Amino acid sequence: MNRSVISLQNAFIYQREQLVLSDVNFSIKNGEFVYLIGRTGSGKSSLLQTLYADLWLEKGTGIVGGFELHALKRSQIPYLRRNIGIVFQDFQLLSDRNIDKNLRFYLKAMGLTDKNEMNERILEVLNLVNLPHILEKMPHQLSGGEQQRVGIARALLNKPDIILADEPTGNLDPEMSVDILKLFLDINKKSNTAVLMATHDFELIERYPHRTLYCDKGQLRDLSDSL
């Protein structure tokens, strides 16, 4: 199916009063893999934050996972986020509990209560990221690459249509970065999950080329339009 899972039209992205990106127009289709690039401070994170409603879309229209960002109510934010998996540069695992409890915490927040269902889902996502045997480990006992795999597993818990990844390889060495990118590509292909990945890593983009959106001078351009 070719429906859009993300679509922004005439959107203006703000950080408080500061206009970060003007008149943004793009859409991402179901199952697409797209890079988001741009210099530091060019607005990549702000754009992603707008897509998961950490920033309000104050001007223009936007639809993400079937939710209208321009008409979103605060009470709808958790439901919007159930359609999105979010992956961060710094992994954002809860440092005071093991991996099993980290993932369980999110499942409970999503409203799951059945223990068997939770166990199954946790094993399922850890298998998807090729880390089946780390339930009892604390985050600090894992390498950066492994922690990011757990971050991706957490993002997959709710079987999202869309993954938004903000510099997911930014804290990893080149070899681990390739592993993580391959994992995203694999998930994208196998489960048809759309991925929008912000990155500074041009080596990765050159080795694994995909459609690329570019934040520059307050504008968002689709580099494939100029090819």
Ligand X SMILES: Nc1ncnc2c1ncn2[C@@H]1O[C@H](COP(=O)(O)OP(=O)(O)OP(=O)(O)O)[C@@H](O)[C@H]1O
**Residues making contact with ligand X (CB under 6 A):** 15-16, 18, 20, 38, 40-46, 215
The helix, strand and coil proportions of the chain, stated in percent and rounded to the nearest 5, come to 40, 25, 35
Residue 41 or 66 having the CB closest to ligand X: 41
Quick one: DSSP state of residue 20?
Answer: E
Tokens 């001007």 locate to 59
Residue 119 or 212 having the CB closest to ligand X: 212
CB of 192 to ligand X, least distance (A): 27
Residue 146 or 166 having the CB closest to ligand X: 166
Please name the amino acid found at residue 199: T
- CA 148 to chain centroid, in Å, comes to 12
Q: Are 5 and 30 in contact (CB under 8 A)?
A: yes
CB of 119 to ligand X, least distance (A): 36
CB of 31 to ligand X, least distance (A): 25
CB of 49 to ligand X, least distance (A): 7
Short-list 200, 206, 205, 165, CA closest to 184: 165
Residue 102 or 199 having the CB closest to ligand X: 199
